[in-house]
A and B are shown apart, each in its own frame.
Chain A
Amino acid sequence: MPDSEARTAREEWGTRFGFLMAMLGAMVGAGNIWRLPYTTGQNGGGVFLLAYVLLLFLIAIPGLMAETMLGRYTQKGVVGSFREIVGDDLYSGLSLVVVLVNVGVMSYYAPVIGWTMYYAANSLLLTFFQSGFEAAAFWNSFTGSPVLTVGTHPVTMAAIAVVLAFGIRRGIERVVKYLIPFLIVALVAVSIRGLTLPGGMKGLAFVFTPDWSHLLRGDTWVAALGQALFSTGLGWGIALTYGSYLRKYDDVPLGGGVFTAVGNTSIGLLAIFAVFPVVFAFGLEPASGAQLTFVSLVKVFPKLLGGQAWAIVFFLGFFAATFTSGIAITEVGVTTVAEETRLSRTQSVAAVVATIWLIGLPSAYSSEFLGAMDYVFGNFGFPFATLTIILLVGWKFGPERARVIDVNRSTDLYVGRWWNGIVKYVIPVVIAFILGYGAINSIGTENQTLMMGGIALMVVLSLGSVLVMKFVSEPTPTESTSSTVQRGD
């Protein structure tokens, strides 16, 4: 494999603000807006939120610090970072699984971005305010029309390709610097409207009233763990990839860890204030997922004074949230391909985007297929990727070594020895527990087949990745004479 560093100087974020917004944009997605409020209400309300915030500080923030550090230290993408730390060890083969998980996730997330794009466009066209408009019928006709769902898919991928082709500073940074502040302003505006509606407080009561009986329930803590680990994007390779574009003087713990996690949760909280008062003020049943956003809220906007403006602001903001996440997930693959092949960045963007578009077609065509992909990757793909990255820092690089050499370099926040145990033991155990809990819980349910398929897919991807990496790393006779000394344990 060619050394990309020898060919081109590596890009860097232009500003700290750009990096922070990029991290926030990467982690804030549809889940913050349509999942967090409902999950909170269903799992003991305030008790769930308190558990979630506790786990956020205890686990997600230290984990994000570890992942961002890995990228900043190696100045490489996922595969390059693994190879830098463990050489051509079998373990480095698993790096490809992390990239493939991102590609797999993006294949079904891209159609979701397409939905938000379609609804944002229709909010601008004031479709929801036409006489005789039916929100549920509109949603059903959209999802039941392959022309529309498959048609929005390439538009989404083309838009992402354009941004990524411009690179880190001129592409991603330029876009997120405007979209994320817009998202925040949009949610604040809708929150103010929602909270001033008669009956809006019922929404806050649904979310924040603590049901103390949930405090000792395992399900509450598992849901909070899942939310803290996976809604912050820990271990997806995004923090690693974005961290690899940091400068020597940039700080990892405060920006990569604390701000990314609490900033992401801040937007989730804003979504609670924006969505639930509106839903409850109009006496709608709270729901999770697409139903909440694309049916319940669409029903509500025409009933609001100035509803057209609120709908435009909300759906453009929602599109911003999903689009910036799509950019980040795709960038994990783009950085890797650009570094590990002879392709230029533009060619890498084209290759990755075309692959995602192709394997995303079934998800764009069928929402059942999309749901199955979400179950498999959400329950097995992400935990496996997270475990792979955290074990790299905790057991291959070594947390104390990582802490003293790089985490505390140029930092605004000193990280003490407490971090070592969390990275080495706590996070891996928690993720292994979540993986096992998800698998065991699905036995005997309709998800059992998907669970077995998910596990089988991860095993096949792992074996395949290790074989591929071993094959491409095999030194040729000329390369072997100039091989570099490997570092590692």
Chain B
Amino acid sequence: MALTTATWVVMLVVVTVVWGSASVAIRRSLADEERKLRLVQRQGEIDTYSPKALADLRTWVEEHPADPYADEAKERHDECVETLRQLDEPFYDWSDDEIESLETFNET
């Protein structure tokens, strides 16, 4: 029995989207873990936020200074900034200029 064109199209779209996403997700996840572990073993630490995520975190703390979670958010932010200053090789795509421009909340 031959499948219709519409059947083939739907099957290929679903298979590509689902199996494709799953393959990409597992490959990227495992590759990133390997890289993270290598960096942690070599440097003892890695940066925990990407430039975009750290900027979000800072903005949120500045906008919610009285939030019950603000202190913890500051700690996480500052820990990442201090780690970035000490590292030879960050995990995320940080430029030297970007790292130099970062400030911990204690410094502002």
Contact = CB atoms under 8 A, between A and B. Distances in A.
Interface of A: 15-17, 20, 45-46, 49-50, 53, 199, 201-202, 204-205, 208-210, 248-251, 254-255, 258-259, 262-263, 265-266, 269, 400-401, 403-405, 408-412, 414, 487-489
B84 interface: no
B57 to A, nearest CB: 5
A50 B16 CA distance: 12
Given A46-B10, A205-B3, A414-B50, 16 more contacts: A15-B33, A45-B10, A46-B6, A46-B11, A49-B10, A53-B17, A201-B1, A209-B4, A249-B40, A251-B33, A255-B29, A262-B18, A404-B59, A408-B49, A412-B29, A487-B68
B72 interface: yes
B4 to A, nearest CB: 7
Contact of B15 (A20, A259, A269, A411): A269
Contacts of A201: 1-3
Nearest to A268: B18
Contact of A251 (B22, B29, B52): B29
A398 to B, nearest CB: 9
Contact of B18 (A15, A255, A269, A401): A269
B32 interface: yes
A469 B59 CA distance: 37
A265 B57 CA distance: 33
A45 B46 CA distance: 47
Contact of B60 (A50, A209, A404, A487): A404
Nearest 8 Cβ contacts at the A-B interface: A46-B10, A408-B53, A16-B33, A259-B25, A487-B68, A262-B21, A208-B11, A262-B22
A412 B33 CA distance: 9
Given A199-B1, A204-B3, A401-B69, A46 B14 contact: yes
B6 to A, nearest CB: 6
Interface string B23-38: 0011011101100100
Contact of A266 (B22, B59, B72, B76): B22
Contacts of B18: 53, 262, 265-266, 269
A30 to B, nearest CB: 20
11 contacts: A16-B29, A46-B6, A53-B18, A209-B6, A209-B7, A250-B33, A251-B29, A404-B56, A404-B73, A408-B56, A488-B68
Contacts of A205: 1, 3-4, 7
Contact of A401 (B1, B11, B21, B60): B60
B18 to A, nearest CB: 5
Interface string B55-75: 011011000100111001100
Interface residues of B, number: 42
A409 B50 CA distance: 8
Query: What's the dominant secondary structure at chain A's contact region?
Result: helix
B10 A408 contact: no
B17 A412 contact: no
Given A46-B10, A405-B76, A254 B25 contact: yes
A249 B60 contact: no
B21 A409 contact: no
Given A50-B13, A210-B6, A412 B57 contact: no
B69 A405 contact: yes
B47 to A, nearest CB: 9
Contacts of A265: 18, 22
A259 B29 contact: yes
Contact of A404 (B4, B25, B32, B53): B53
A168 to B, nearest CB: 17
A15 B34 CA distance: 10
A259 B68 CA distance: 32
Contacts of A258: 21, 25
Contacts of A403: 56
Contacts of B36: 249, 410
Contacts of A408: 49-50, 52-53, 56-57
B57 A404 contact: yes
B11 A263 contact: no
Contacts of A199: 1
Nearest to A17: B30
A411 B6 contact: no
A68 to B, nearest CB: 13
B28 A254 contact: yes
Contacts of A489: 68
Contacts of A263: 22, 25-26
A122 B53 CA distance: 54
Contacts of B11: 46, 204, 208
A266 B56 contact: no
A320 to B, nearest CB: 18
A262 B25 contact: yes
A395 to B, nearest CB: 15
A79 B17 CA distance: 36
Nearest to A273: B15
Contacts of A249: 36, 40, 46, 48
A394 to B, nearest CB: 16
Contacts of A404: 53, 56-57, 59-60, 73
A485 to B, nearest CB: 9
